């Protein structure tokens, strides 16, 4: 026990324990052994963090020149590049995600900070064509105040930057609540934040459970906006909580993203894209392409080739650069996946490959790449978000039919289409009710590409130029320009 790494929370520029002294252990999914302890934030800790953020907001931060805030974002991006290897390693130890991805991502996320650093001094107001004499009216974009950023356990660095960078650029201050699962990388990140010498309290990093930590944060009366990424059930709590403090809410939730392959698709390209979409990060991705619709003419041939590719995936230790899939992040994931597969097989689903734990290790929850043929997409694996390496495959005949099927799910986050017919690619992408459609590719992100869903996948977009405005409010200022006194104080003009 004594050799466990010990993390502290970062509140008001100080490294602190919880006021209750409570801590909890975080596990390494490679062997499910604890490797670090983190403080469990109490409601008092949350209060301390929010008040620090409020003080920093009212202090110099919101009054700095936009360019100066941009410079701090550039300093964060430089720190990320210098420390990408360390951040990648810690995220890998804590989540089981492959180091070949976490290391690369830590570097790439630096680009997001640069992107918003560049935008910090480019958000403009307007002069209104006002309908009154002797009046000049303008709008400006002002910061909102204290932002609560609630982060899930997967892709934490990415899901943090899409909230933190635009929020800071616009003059807000932030309390980041990392997930209780795999929180370590957020504290390593907080160390880099400290090194930038950003004013105290501008960025605070805490962790804890939904209750009391998440609840206290999202109901706090000084929190003005909650930027949430996580599951739909938690999102319902967040919305209820926002009734307490009347905060604005943005929600990035789950998905059950459909992918269609037409008879004329370039098959090798489609197989690569589908493999990336569902087996990349062991399927623990919100945009995982987990519902696959194959057109009749290629169904058997394509499915055989895809299964052969899936069976070749190299399962291995997450730090091994040769590994293509590592362990599931936690036991809850394994339980959900196994339960849904069992129910589906009981109802007639046919396992084409995988379907069970992989023999690579008995210690970590390694799960084989799994493909299941389903007669209809209402079978549990085809309908529910599993957040794992499980692909459900269904058959279709016509374009209209597949569009209806792709849209027949509660979620609307991502989607994919593979076809050599450019017009059809455009038609289908337009008809799919999802926030993102990939045509002849999959699993791409960029600071300039808005990310987010519709339907039960939430609302509000992250990344891209427009999302920076989501961290501002419009303010209208009226100027009276005449030297004469105003007339009639008792009538609104």
Six-digit token string for 125: 């107001």
For residue 163, give the DSSP letter: H
**DSSP assignments along 247-267, one per residue:** -EEEEE----EEEEE-TTS-H
Residue with smaller CB distance to ligand NAD, 11 or 261: 11
Q: Which residues are catalytic?
A: 252, 286
C-alpha–C-alpha distance, residues 329 and 157, integer Å: 16
Segment lying near ligand NAD (by CB under 6 A), choices 9-17, 177-185, 315-323, 359-367: 177-185
Pair 88, 185: CB distance under 8 Å:
no
Per the listing, tokens 């089981």 go with 96
Does residue 212 have a cis bond before it (omega within 30 degrees)? yes
Segment lying near ligand NAD (by CB under 6 A), choices 29-37, 41-49, 135-143, 231-239: 231-239
In Å, how far from its chain's centre is CA 171?
22
Residue with smaller CB distance to ligand NAD, 307 or 333: 333
Q: Smallest distance, Å, CB 411 to ligand NAD? A: 9
Residue with smaller CB distance to ligand NAD, 179 or 275: 179
User: Would you count residue 39 as binding ligand NAD (CB under 6 A)?
Assistant: no
Q: Smallest distance, Å, CB 462 to ligand NAD? A: 7
Pair 38, 7: CB distance under 8 Å:
yes
User: Would you count residue 154 as binding ligand NAD (CB under 6 A)?
Assistant: yes
Total Cβ atoms within 10 A of residue 142: 15
- Identify the H or E element spanning 25: strand 23-28
What is the largest distance, in Å, between two alpha-carbon atoms of the chain?
A: 86
Three-state SS for 6?
A: strand
Residue with smaller CB distance to ligand NAD, 103 or 179: 179
Residue with smaller CB distance to ligand NAD, 48 or 256: 256
Beta bridge partners, 24, equal: 38
Q: Smallest distance, Å, CB 209 to ligand NAD? A: 6
Pair 470, 166: CB distance under 8 Å:
yes
User: Exactly one of 73, 93, 150, 205 binds ligand NAD (CB under 6 A); which one?
Assistant: 150
User: Would you count residue 237 as binding ligand NAD (CB under 6 A)?
Assistant: yes
Q: Taking CB under 6 A as the criterion, which residues in 343-402 touch ligand NAD? A: 385, 387
Residue with smaller CB distance to ligand NAD, 177 or 200: 177
For residue 389, give the DSSP letter: S
Segment lying near ligand NAD (by CB under 6 A), choices 48-56, 151-159, 367-375, 418-426: 151-159
Binding pattern to ligand NAD, positions 192-211, x when CB under 6 A? -----------------xxx
Binding pattern to ligand NAD, positions 209-228, x when CB under 6 A? xxx--xx--x----------
User: Exactly one of 52, 87, 151, 317 binds ligand NAD (CB under 6 A); which one?
Assistant: 151
Residue with smaller CB distance to ligand NAD, 46 or 353: 46
Per the listing, tokens 């420390």 go with 83
Listed residue (177, 176, 22, 155) closest to 94, CA to CA: 155
Q: Smallest distance, Å, CB 119 to ligand NAD? A: 20
User: Would you count residue 403 as binding ligand NAD (CB under 6 A)?
Assistant: no
C-alpha–C-alpha distance, residues 349 and 431, integer Å: 28
User: Exactly one of 159, 249, 270, 402 binds ligand NAD (CB under 6 A); which one?
Assistant: 159
For the chain, how many helices (H) and strands (E)?
A: 14, 23
Q: Taking CB under 6 A as the criterion, which residues in 283-342 touch ligand NAD? A: 286
Q: Smallest distance, Å, CB 219 to ligand NAD? A: 8
Segment lying near ligand NAD (by CB under 6 A), choices 26-34, 86-94, 129-137, 250-258: 250-258
Number of residues that bind ligand NAD (CB under 6 A): 30
Listed residue (42, 60, 14, 472) closest to 204, CA to CA: 14
Residue with smaller CB distance to ligand NAD, 159 or 260: 159
Binding pattern to ligand NAD, positions 84-123, x when CB under 6 A? ----------------------------------------
Pair 462, 452: CB distance under 8 Å:
yes
* Strands of 9-11's sheet in order across: 14-16, 9-11, 203-207, 173-178, 146-150, 223-229, 248-252, 458-459
Instruction: Tell me what percent of the chain is helix, strand and coil, each rounded to the nearest 5.
Output: 40, 25, 35
Three-state SS for 469?
A: helix
Q: Smallest distance, Å, CB 163 to ligand NAD? A: 10
Q: Apex CA 407: angle with CA 469 and CA 460, to 5°? A: 10
Listed residue (278, 252, 409) closest to 337, CA to CA: 278
User: Exactly one of 70, 152, 349, 364 binds ligand NAD (CB under 6 A); which one?
Assistant: 152
Per the listing, tokens 């660095």 go with 157
User: Exactly one of 171, 254, 316, 349 binds ligand NAD (CB under 6 A); which one?
Assistant: 254
Q: Smallest distance, Å, CB 447 to ligand NAD? A: 14
Residue with smaller CB distance to ligand NAD, 238 or 382: 238
User: What residues line the site for ligand NAD (CB under 6 A)?
Assistant: 150-155, 159, 177, 179-180, 209-211, 214-215, 218, 229-231, 234, 237-238, 252-255, 286, 385, 387, 413
């Amino acid at each position: 026990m004594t050799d466990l790494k010990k993390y502290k929370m970062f509140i008001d520029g100080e490294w602190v324990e919880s006021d209750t002294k409570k801590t909890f252990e975080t596990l390494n999914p490679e062997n499910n052994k604890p490797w670090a302890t983190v403080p469990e934030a109490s409601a008092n800790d949350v209060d301390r963090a929010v008040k620090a953020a409020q003080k920093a907001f009212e202090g110099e931060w919101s009054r700095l020149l936009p360019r100066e805030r941009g410079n701090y974002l550039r300093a964060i991006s430089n720190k990320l590049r210098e420390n990408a290897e360390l951040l990648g390693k810690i995220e890998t130890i804590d989540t089981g995600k492959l180091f070949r991805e976490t290391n690369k991502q830590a570097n790439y996320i630096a680009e997001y900070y640069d992107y918003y650093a560049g935008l910090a001094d480019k958000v403009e107001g307007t002069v209104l064509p006002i309908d009154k004499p002797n009046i000049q009216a303008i709008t400006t974009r002002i910061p909102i105040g204290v932002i609560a950023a609630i982060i899930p356990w997967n892709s934490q660095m990415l899901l943090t930057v899409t909230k933190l960078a635009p929020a800071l650029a616009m003059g807000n201050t932030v309390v980041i609540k990392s997930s209780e699962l795999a929180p370590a990388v957020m504290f390593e990140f907080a160390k880099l934040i400290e090194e930038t010498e950003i004013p105290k309290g501008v960025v605070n990093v805490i962790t804890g459970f939904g209750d009391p930590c998440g609840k206290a944060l999202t109901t706090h009366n000084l929190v003005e906006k909650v930027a949430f990424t996580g599951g739909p059930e938690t999102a319902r709590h967040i919305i209820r909580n926002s009734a307490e403090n009347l905060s604005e809410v943005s929600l990035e939730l789950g998905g059950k993203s459909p992918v269609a392959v037409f008879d004329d698709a370039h098959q090798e390209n489609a197989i690569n894209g589908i493999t990336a979409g569902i087996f990349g990060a062991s399927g623990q991705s919100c945009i995982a392409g987990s519902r696959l619709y194959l057109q009749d003419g290629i169904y058997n041939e394509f499915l055989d080739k895809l299964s052969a590719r899936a069976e070749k995936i190299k399962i291995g230790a997450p730090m091994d650069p040769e590994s293509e899939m590592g362990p599931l992040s936690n036991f809850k994931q394994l339980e959900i996946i196994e339960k849904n597969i069992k129910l589906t097989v009981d109802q007639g689903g046919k396992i084409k490959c995988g379907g069970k734990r992989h023999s690579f290790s008995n210690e970590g929850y390694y799960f084989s790449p799994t493909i299941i043929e389903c007669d209809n997409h209402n079978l549990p694996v085809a309908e529910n978000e599993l957040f794992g390496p499980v692909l459900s495959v269904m058959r279709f005949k016509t374009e209209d039919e597949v569009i209806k099927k792709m849209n027949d799910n509660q979620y609307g986050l991502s989607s994919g289409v593979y076809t050599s017919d450019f017009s059809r690619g455009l038609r289908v992408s337009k008809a799919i009710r999802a926030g993102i459609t990939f045509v002849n590719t999959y699993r791409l992100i960029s600071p300039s590409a808005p990310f987010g869903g519709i339907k039960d996948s939430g609302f509000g977009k992250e990344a891209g130029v427009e999302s920076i405005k989501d961290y501002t409010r419009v303010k209208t200022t009226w100027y009276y320009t005449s030297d004469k006194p105003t007339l009639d104080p008792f009538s609104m003009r």
